[in-house]
Amino acid sequence: MSTARTLAALPLVALLAALPAVADEGDGAIPYPEDEQDAPAPARPARRRVVEDDLRQSVEEDEERSRPMAPLDDPALGLAGEVLGGIMLLDSSRGALDAQPAFGLRFTWELGRTLEDALLHEALFLDVGWLWSRQWAGTSAVFGDSSLHAFTLAPAFGFSLGGERSPVVAFLQLGGGLAYQATRISYEGGATDVSGVKPLLQYGGGLRGRPLINENGLRLSFRVELTRYRRHYMDDTFLGAGLGLDY
Amino acid sequence: MRSQVPLPAAWLAAALAACAPNPSPPVKVMALVEQGPGALQPTQVELELVRDVVALAGPLGTFLGNARLTLDASDPQWQQATSDEARAAAITRQEGNPVHAHYIDKGGVLYPGDFHTWSLVTAWHGLEEAYRYWQGVGVPGEEMNGLQLHYFPEFRITAGSPVQPERDNAFFFAPLQAFVVLPFESLQGVPLALNAGVLAHEFSHRVFNRRVYGGATLPAPLVTWPVGGASAGANLLKAADEGFADFHAWSVTCLGPSGCNPRFLDPSLPAAVAEARDFSRADRCLSSAQRFAMEGEPLGTFDGRGGPYEVGTVIASALFQAAEKTAQRQEIQRAVLAAYANTAPQKPGLKETIASVANQGNLLKLETLANALLAQVEDLETRKQLCNELWGRLKLNGRVDNCPVASAPVSDCKEVP
């Protein structure tokens, strides 16, 4: 809404800038260059100054009004929570991709709401996520069972789709975090646990939707995404979706 | 001075710059090593022949994953291939990728982070053990460098009709001069890649191929001799290759922490198969039927029903018993290697013998093989014992030329039906 008001004010500003030129052109003979230095600046008629001042004041008031209106237009907190699910294409050590189911949670803070910039206000959000996948391989006698946890903090930028008021945005994301991995290798007569924490880079994109589901500002939150996780030097790919609520 | 780089940016930079571990050899890694018969234990080992511990590549060779290999006898590309390269191209439907081992660094020791990394690292270690064994026996490192191992490829052997990919096997594949470790399915024991004895057995096939056949992708005796019906010479070569590989594999196990283990197949193969391949049994002996089959069957038939393993087990048994009874294991190891190829006129090896019989493969008999082996043994007592074992177990037709006069066939074996 605030963006709409700002945009609505733009023609007024343009009009304001054009008015003096129109007035000058219709206000007597154009002076020769040599006369310009000596000639006193033509006094603008008082009526035009009043109009001009009224317009400027109108624009300033409009901007002033629009600034605090944004949170009032959408009083939601800008917080969302989603459950994630999908397929993790794990970078398998055997030189192939190992497709495994993956699940997780994600909390989103629409960070842009704290900013006055109209563009960032709607576009910027920050995800805190946890994604889990598991990898099992081996025989009955010797097998490995690995759990992979990705903890990430990732800002994202959304591009409105279908107009300013569309509840769906396409987003790009880049962030990082930590990968915790725990592996148990089992063999006849025993088992050995190995675990470790590794740096994690997250990047990707997808579609994010927030359709309004009631008048109190509660929204459905969903995503379809393709996200890559660079787990130290291993590259995993998540194809998945999220579903939750946004307020 | 306080850093001006914000924390998230520092994390991103760190993550972007995250490189794979690249320690210089010897690389300390954990592998699943046999500490007793069939008892695997995570054990710290040092890999010396690796340069890239993630891709598992180095002087020893390279490991590739995700390849697609099809040997299709009806494929025109295969039929028209006249060079090793062309044959390899016909087989290789998908090259595969370098493996990508995943480690967790614990104080300078790399711990495998998943099952396949445990498997890959252990396989690499097993091949290094075999490499060191052969170096000790007398094969120069340069001759063994540059191996290629296809890990879990999609592998098919067909004659045009669609077939399911092969499973549950590990072998040296001469047409590609590469090792192949197939995915497991029905074999649910110790995976073949984790069995150092199995890897040593396959490594021995490579040495045999290089020494006896000159590294041929399609060894001439196996291609030209089997023409029309019986192929005794080719069958014998296949059997000898299997028997020698078992003997060398046992020898490699002697270098490991679990000590000599002739039943190294037990943890990986079904009990009946492992039992049939047990060459340490004192009563292991060639039956008349087995000899008859070897001398009378076409290679395809003999090979297809496991004939090379049956006869090979008896050959390995003779070598094993001689080594145990004389305590001259290393002498016999060296003699077997020398029997592969020896240009000394009085001690021709198999390579020279094959050349001498030219296209008459049927001239290559068990007695020829025994003579080639015995000729390489310097120590008289060891030669006599080896002669006794070969003579008695393989049912040789009398004393062969290189048997000492005092030799006599062992009589403690019984025919296995």
The tens digit of pLDDT for each residue in B349-362 reads: 999 999 998 878 88
Least confident of A78-87, B20-29, B378-387: B20-29
Task: Identify the three-state secondary structure at position A100.
Answer: strand
Q: Tell me the C-alpha distance between B299 and B292, whole Å.
A: 13
Q: Tell me the C-alpha distance between B374 and B383, whole Å.
A: 6
User: Between chains, do A187 and B41 touch, taking CB under 8 Å as contact?
Assistant: yes
Interface of B with A in 366-395 (CB under 8 A): none
Q: How many CB atoms are closer than 10 A to CB A60?
A: 11
Question: Which is nearest to B341 in space by CA: B169, B242, B239, B215?
Answer: B215
Residue type at position A111: L
B146: left (phi over 0), alpha (psi -120 to 50) or beta: left
Phi, psi at B133, each rounded to 5°: -60, -50
Question: Which is nearest to B247 in space by CA: B155, B340, B184, B170?
Answer: B340
Whether chain A has a CB inside 8 Å of the CB on B120: the answer is yes
Taking CA–CA distances from A176, the nearest residue in chain B reads: B12
Q: Tell me the C-alpha distance between A90 and A234, whole Å.
A: 8
Whether chain B has a CB inside 8 Å of the CB on A197: the answer is no
Candidate from A139, A153, A177 with C-beta closest to B189: A139
Helix axes B329-340, B196-213, angle to 10 degrees: 40
Chain A: closest CA distance from residue B64 (Å): 7
Whether chain A has a CB inside 8 Å of the CB on B187: the answer is yes
Q: Tell me the C-alpha distance between B350 and B213, whole Å.
A: 9
Count how many Cα atoms sit within 13 Å of the Cα of residue B271 in the half-sphere of its side chain.
0
Which chain A residues are closer than 8 Å to B152 by Cβ? 94, 96
Candidate from B97, B99, B114 with C-beta closest to A183: B114
Rg (CA), chain B: 23
Whether chain B has a CB inside 8 Å of the CB on A198: the answer is yes
> Confidence band (pLDDT; 50, 70, 90) for B18?
low
| Cβ-based burial of A90 (10 A; exposed 0-12, middle 13-18, buried ≥19) | buried
Residue A52 pLDDT exceeds 90: no
Report the share of chain A in percent with pLDDT over 90.
Answer: 53
Give the pLDDT score at A48.
60
Give the pLDDT score at A19.
34
Q: What would the pLDDT profile of A177-202 be if each residue is shown by its tens digit? A: 999 999 999 998 899 999 999 999 99
User: Is the separation of the CB atoms in A59 and A15 below 8 Å?
Assistant: no
Q: What would the pLDDT profile of B288-303 be if each residue is shown by its tens digit? A: 899 999 999 999 899 9
Chain A: closest CA distance from residue B252 (Å): 22
Which chain A residues are closer than 8 Å to B39 by Cβ? 188-189
Phi, psi at B283, each rounded to 5°: -95, 15
In a domain? residue B405:
yes
Residue with tokens 């049956």: B310
User: Between chains, do A175 and B8 touch, taking CB under 8 Å as contact?
Assistant: yes
Question: Which residues neighbour B236 within 8 Å (Cβ) at sequence distance 6 or greater?
Answer: B294, B311, B364, B365, B366, B369
User: Between chains, do A142 and B194 touch, taking CB under 8 Å as contact?
Assistant: yes
Report the share of chain A in percent with pLDDT over 70.
Answer: 69
Angle at B197 between CA B203 and CA B94, to 5 degrees: 50
| Arithmetic mean of pLDDT, B64-86 | 93
B367: left (phi over 0), alpha (psi -120 to 50) or beta: alpha
> Confidence band (pLDDT; 50, 70, 90) for B14?
low
Q: Is the ipTM of this complex over 0.90?
A: no
Taking CA–CA distances from A154, the nearest residue in chain B reads: B8
| Arithmetic mean of pLDDT, A44-68 | 60
What's the mean pLDDT when you consider all of chain B?
Answer: 91
Residue type at position B169: N
Chain A: closest CA distance from residue B276 (Å): 22
> Confidence band (pLDDT; 50, 70, 90) for A46?
low
Q: Tell me the C-alpha distance between B31 and B94, whole Å.
A: 29
Domain ranges of chain A: 14-66, 73-246
In a domain? residue B268:
yes
Domain count of the fold of chain B: 1
Which structural domain range is residue B255 located in? 219-417
Q: Tell me the C-alpha distance between A57 and B74, whole Å.
A: 88
Say whether the peptide bond before residue B165 is cis (omega within 30 degrees of 0): no
Put simply, whether the predicted model's pTM sits higher than 0.80 gets the answer yes
Whether chain B has a CB inside 8 Å of the CB on A153: the answer is yes
User: Between chains, do A195 and B104 touch, taking CB under 8 Å as contact?
Assistant: yes
Give the pLDDT score at B357.
86
Question: CA dihedral in degrees (A109, A110, A116, A119; nearest 10)?
Answer: 150
Residue A5 pLDDT exceeds 80: no
> Confidence band (pLDDT; 50, 70, 90) for A7?
very low
Give the pLDDT score at A15.
31
Phi, psi at B118, each rounded to 5°: -55, -45
Give the pLDDT score at A84.
96
Residue B345 pLDDT exceeds 70: yes
Q: Tell me the C-alpha distance between B179 and A117, whole Å.
A: 63
Give the pLDDT score at A68.
47
Residue type at position B28: K
Report the share of chain B in percent with pLDDT over 90.
Answer: 80
User: Between chains, do A93 and B40 touch, taking CB under 8 Å as contact?
Assistant: no
Cα end-to-end span (Å), chain A: 17
Q: What would the pLDDT profile of A111-169 be if each residue is shown by its tens digit? A: 888 888 878 888 899 999 999 999 999 999 999 999 999 999 999 999 988 776 788 99
Candidate from B18, B41, B99 with C-beta closest to A94: B99
In a domain? residue B197:
no
In a domain? residue B261:
yes
Q: Tell me the C-alpha distance between B283 and B262, whole Å.
A: 15
| Arithmetic mean of pLDDT, B214-240 | 89
Give the pLDDT score at A25.
39
| Arithmetic mean of pLDDT, B142-158 | 95
Q: Which residue has the higher pLDDT, A58 or B123?
A: B123
Residue A20 pLDDT exceeds 50: no
| Arithmetic mean of pLDDT, A208-212 | 91
Pick the CATH number of A73-246 from 2.40.160.20, 1.10.150.110, 3.30.70.120, 1.10.8.80: 2.40.160.20
In a domain? residue B111:
no
Give the pLDDT score at A30.
46
In a domain? residue B317:
yes
HEC-encoded secondary structure of B100-120 = CCCEEEECCEEEECCHHHHHH
Taking CA–CA distances from B20, the nearest residue in chain A reads: A233
Least confident of A24-33, A63-72, B278-287: A24-33
Residue B8 pLDDT exceeds 70: no
| Residue-by-residue DSSP string for B33-100 | EEEETTEEEEEEEEE-S-SBTTTTEETTEEEEES-EEEEETT-HHHHH--SHHHHHHHHEEE--EE--
Candidate from B117, B184, B190 with C-beta closest to A93: B117
In a domain? residue B402:
yes
Question: Which is nearest to A45 in space by CA: A22, A57, A21, A27?
Answer: A27
In a domain? residue B126:
no
Give the pLDDT score at B21.
85
Q: What would the pLDDT profile of B81-122 be if each residue is shown by its tens digit? A: 999 999 999 999 999 999 999 999 999 999 999 999 999 999
**How many residues does this entry show for chain A?**
247
Whether chain A has a CB inside 8 Å of the CB on B65: the answer is yes
| Arithmetic mean of pLDDT, B266-279 | 94
Beta strands A143-160 and A124-138 are antiparallel
Q: Which residue has the higher pLDDT, B1 or A165?
A: A165
